Structure 1
Amino acid sequence: MTAAADSTTYGSKPWLARYAPGQPSSITVEFDSALDMFRAAVARDPDGEIIRYFDGRITLRELDALTDAFAAGITDAGFSPGERVAVYLQNVPQFLIAQIGTWKAGGIAVSINPMNKERELTELLTDSGATVLVCLESLHRDVAASVVPGTEVRTVITTSELEHQTRNDPRIFSGVERIACEGTVDMAGLLERFAGQAPPEVSLGPDDIAFLTYTSGTTGPPKGAMTTHRNVVFNAQTYREWVGLTSDDVVLGVAPLFHITGLIAHIAISLLIGAPLVLMYRLDPAVTIETVRDERATFTVGSITVFIALMNSPAAEKEALASLTKILSGGAPIPPSTVKAFKAAFGHYIHNVYGLTETTSPSHGTPFGTEGPVDEASGALSVGVPVYDTVVQIVDDKGEDLPVGEIGELVTTGPQVVVGYWNKPEETAKALPGGSLHTGDVGYMDADGWFYIVDRKKDQINAGGYKVWPREVEDVLYEHEAVREAAVVGVPDEYRGESVKAFVSLRPGKEVSEADLIAFTKQRMAAYKYPRQIEFLDEIPKTVTGKLLRRELRGR
């Protein structure tokens, strides 16, 4: 089968025409760089709020000045265009100051998970060759201080989560205090010292790298995806057009800003449309619900675990979330039962989207205003149809196209696909031959053009020669009223080679026995699929973005 852009099999064009008739099938990238995108927003509405952080407010004019000062400060310290700035922060305003300021200095931002410890931080600083590190004071004390001396980092800029707000909510900031970090530059002092200054003008083009976004490392060492300015602008526009976002919207920042979802669906979309981005440092369900109510947040993208947490919060009230009408979820499998329960509780449908770090967030989405189908055989919720200008093939192990309905690997081609991995030409050639991304995700497309993700190739369980996909078993477990979260892995079995084991956490106040839960699944799926063992945990281990850490569970 062909994979042309207007293909009736794989391309986005026919399916958008069918399911979203008001949508364009193609979009033109409007800016040469994400920095130009930001500057356009400043020019349109300089006094418009762009960041809300508890009781703190930052306008576009103020953010422009702060990022000028940051860029001037690091340039004065010897930073040169093309160098890298590592951003090791939680969801705080300083993240945007550092990222935009890095672009103004002609640099590349490197997003680092604030949960990373010494080994991971060393690995990412070494791989990226970052010369500047921006981090929280607590992260410097606990992690970075012992790591930096062995890297290329010349300048360490520290800051506090207490900056840019005065509310100091004890649910968020309990135990947080300012820390003196010897040998570092205080960001507030830097911004004050270089206030009113700007670095030499730089010219960034579509093919220049905006940031390195490191893969989660669930399948091996993290790789730095080289995300270009074209990638960033294109998928910011994708979110805008897909959902119909305008400057009247309010973006709720529930995804980690270091992750590709936070970088595009929070930061980039806010800069594109000039809408305020609401930040909360860390996710607390009760605080999040209050924030939605108080800030009248309208749009967000988060993992399904975020919405599970909101539903199970004692503070959950339909009225409090009334404004949050534009909800997308990606990054982790979505149980159809959870989408149904959330809509019943709050009246809002959670639209599934799908993408990877290497696709700069979405490559697929459920057209806004429609509800994705659920596959009758597997119970999987569709991840949608390809977004604008995007072609997705389903291929077999030889790379040959498979017919409709056949399960194979997804291969994605489009303007959002990154150009490769930093300093890893062999990995780039393997994953991105000819510029098409071999995702490692297994799925299929139905006759109506909807795509379904079955699982990761590596997670398939071989039970006596039968293939079992963990997601199918997990979706069945989610149908039980007592189950809050579930993760399924294969464990060694002398007879079958592997058998199915489930790890389950329960909803507050709910109880169910292992035997009853096994019986529940046995009634609903083939004999080789249902779990032979169930272990109850208080919490299922996940990455910060909500992906299940099956590798950690297998290690048990």
Structure 2
Amino acid sequence: MAEIVQIPGLTSRGEWRLPARINMAQQAMAHAADRLAIIDLTGAVRRDITHGELAVMVDGLARYLMTRIKAGDRVGVLLSQSPWCAAAHLAIWKLGAISVPLFKLFKRDALASRSGDAGVCLVLTDPEGVDLLGDLAEAVLVDRVSLEGEPVAFADTAAETPAVLIYTSGTTGSPKGALHAHRVLTGHLPGVAISHDQLGQSGDCLWTPADWAWIGGLFDVLMPGLALGVPVVAARLDKFTPEACADLVRRGEVRNVFFPPTALRMLKAAGQGLDGLRSVASGGEPLGAEMLAWGQAHFGVTINEFYGQTECNMVASSCGGDYPPQPGCIGRPVPGHELAVIDAEGNPTSAEGDVAVRRGSASMMLEYWNRPAETAAKFCGDWLVTGDRGIWEGDFLRFVGREDDVITSAGYRIGPAEIEDCLMTHPAVATVGVVGKPDSLRTEIVKAYVVLKPDAEATEQALQIYVKDRLAQYSYPREIAFVESLPMTVTGKVIRKELKARAARERRE
């Protein structure tokens, strides 16, 4: 059994005793200057970045930002996996400002909705990001700042001081921003450590194919790795392939990986094993017994499943080094996070119900940005309601299904409303309904049911390109059906439940 990693602020009884003052940047940069922080594989030659070198980059950005922003300002970070991406977030937090992760696969409309809603004052990026932003926001090239100068002091921030605003997909309206405080990194550490059979052992080295713009890349991998003193591999795979994955694991001397389920299915389909791994974690949707058995045979380790969401992450996990997995279940509650399955009245139940997390979890959001009504609706008494359905099997939580209409595709959570809004701006489209269609590789694909305007014409390919050019490459409808009408409520809302049932029947047929 691996030595148990001690998490500052968490008692042996699994209760939070957080200090009143926390700064996430200081927490992630607390190691010796010569300790390896990031293995940079984004270029042709491997570069090893120490904590001391990372600190120089952080201070260079912080000195520049001090002349432009103040505490509480929102600053975008439009960067892929790279040392500069890590430095950008850390510099923003060091000054007490709020970072807003933005994804390189976003197109103009998606970037505009998020940066506009957040009130972003400027965006830290690279030349590619400058082209993506256009005139949406002022862009600052991170590698152009001076690295000469004195270190910058850490802002005196509280555990509850806002630090990062991460946008999550929803079922209605535009994406919502989950506002997190400086305690959020601490809140992730127990679950991250457990899901990697006590991450922080000698020789550990962490990587994920997930982009660092998502909570899964930023707070399940990058920042916990830095805080625990575990080197993190930065690599940009233009396209995930089993061969490229195996090569990266070898070159980066990776021992610990977070794989979204789709990546695991691609590796399994190719028969691609990986050597030298000590732990493999996966989250997003449950894995079956067959996948767990395959992972044991081809990785030599038990795949540890974990559970959470942008609003409150890393709250349940398996730990193969301590106990065997229970296929179909998403693990046990992580210390520091009280989970329950509750009924419609908010009472814990042993029957199927809503998966919920009690207030007090250190990884729980403060609020939805500028959305008090939706923040209030997310809670039922003392419980944050995840929108997922579950049932207890002993002390393991079994995931039953998603209560809302969010589409889970290749590890991404995609809100149908944003795609519907985009398609509705096409001159040929009268109305549209978007749902997830079951898919053996991606879990679900985006399926759009489109009603065209009288005498209007549009092809499936044309509408797909229309969405790709405006939202993101991963969220376009992979299938489009042209229909005469959509199922509607009396108030004119699309009944997605009926469309989802239709999509499921299509797959079976």
| TM value normalised by structure 2 | 0.73
Q: Aligned partners of 1:207 and 1:430: how far apart in 2?
A: 21
Per the alignment, residue 281 of structure 1 pairs with 236
Whether contact under 8 Å (1:251, 1:300) holds in the other structure is yes
1:391, 1:294 → 2: CA distance? Answer: 39
Which residue identity is paired with 1:244? Q
Look up the equivalent residue of 1:245 and give its one-letter code: L
Q: Give the alignment of 1:440-479 within 5 angstroms.
A: 440-446=387-393, 448-458=394-404
Tell me how far apart the structure 1 counterparts of residues 56 and 311 of structure 2 sit (CA, whole Å). 32
- Deviation string 1:494-540 (CA, Å, 9 cap, x unpaired) is xxxxxx9754569xxxxxxxxxxxxxxxxxxxxxxxxxxxxxxxxxx
Corresponding residue for residue 303 of structure 1? 260
**1:225 lines up with 2:192 in the alignment:** no
Q: Secondary structure at the match of 2:389?
A: strand
Which residue number in structure 2 is paired with residue 325 of structure 1?
Answer: 278
Task: Give the Å deviation of 1:66.
Answer: 0.7
Q: What 5-or-longer segments of structure 2 have no aligned partner?
A: 1-11, 410-415, 417-435, 443-466, 482-498, 504-509
What is the letter of the counterpart of residue 89 of structure 2? Q
Per-residue Cα deviation, 1:192-218 (whole angstroms, up to 9, x for no partner): x24224445521221112211111235
| Paired residue secondary structure (1:458) | coil
Give how far 1:67 is off: 0.2
SS at match of 1:442: strand
Paired AA for residue 145 in structure 1: G
How far off its partner does 1:410 sit?
1.0
Note if contact 2:355-2:388 (Cα within 8 Å) is conserved in structure 1.
yes
Return the match for 2:296 from 307, 328, 343.
Answer: 343
User: C-alpha separation between the residues in 2 aligned to 1:93 and 1:122?
Assistant: 25
* Matching residue within 32, 38, 52 for 2:39: 52
Which of 105, 109, 112 in structure 2 is aligned with 1:122? 112
Alignment CA distance shift 1:459-1:100 (3 Å): closer
CA distance in 1, matches of 2:480, 2:305: 26
Aligned to 1:79: 69
Question: Post-superposition shift, 1:434?
Answer: 4.8
Q: Which letter maps to 1:300?
A: V
| Equivalent position amino acid for 1:291 in 2 | L
- Rounded Cα–Cα distance in structure 1 between residues aligned with 2:475 and 2:109: 21
Alignment match, 1:265? 220
Go from structure 1 to structure 2 and tell me whether the alpha carbon gap of 1:434 and 1:551 turns closer, same or farther (over 3 Å shift): farther
* Map of 1:177 onto structure 2: none
2:84 is the counterpart of 1:94: yes
Aligned ranges 1:178-189 → 2 under 5 Å: 187-189=142-144
Partner of 2:140: 157
- Contact kept in structure 2, 1:236 and 1:268, CA below 8 Å: no
Tell me the amino acid that sits aligned with residue 318 of structure 2: T
Which of structure 1's runs of 4+ aligned residues deviate more than 4 A?
26-31, 500-506, 541-556
Q: Which amino acid counterpart does residue 427 of structure 1 have in structure 2?
A: E
Asked if the contact 2:333/2:339 (under 8 Å) is kept, the reply is yes
Contact 1:331–1:545, Cα closer than 8 Å, also in 2: no
Distance in 2, Cα, partners of 1:98 & 1:26: 32
Q: Following TM superposition, by how much is the alpha carbon of 1:139 offset from its aligned partner in structure 2, in angstroms?
A: 3.2
> TM-score, normalised on structure 1?
0.67
Change (3 A) 1:368 1:344: closer
- Aligned twin of 1:244: 198
Aligned partner of 1:144 in structure 2 is 133
For residues 290 and 88 of structure 1, do their structure 2 counterparts lie closer, same or farther at Cα, with a shift above 3 Å needed?
same
Gaps of 5+ in 1: 1-22, 149-154, 159-186, 375-380, 461-469, 475-488, 490-499, 507-540
* Matches of 1:551 and 1:398, distance apart in 2: 39
Residue identity matched to 1:120: A
The percentage of counterpart residues that share the same residue type is: 23
The within-5 A match list for 1:315-464 is 316=272, 318=273, 321-359=274-312, 361-369=313-321, 370-374=323-327, 381-402=328-349, 404=350, 406-413=351-358, 414-434=361-381, 436-446=383-393, 448-458=394-404
For 1:544 and 1:144, locate their aligned partners in 2 and report how far apart those are by CA, in whole Å: 14
Give the deviation of 1:279 after TM superposition: 1.3
Tell me how many residue pairs correspond in the alignment: 410
> What is the CA RMSD across the aligned residues, in angstroms?
3.3
CA deviations on 1:349-386 (whole Å, 9 max, x unpaired) are 21110000011x21111134233223xxxxxx100111
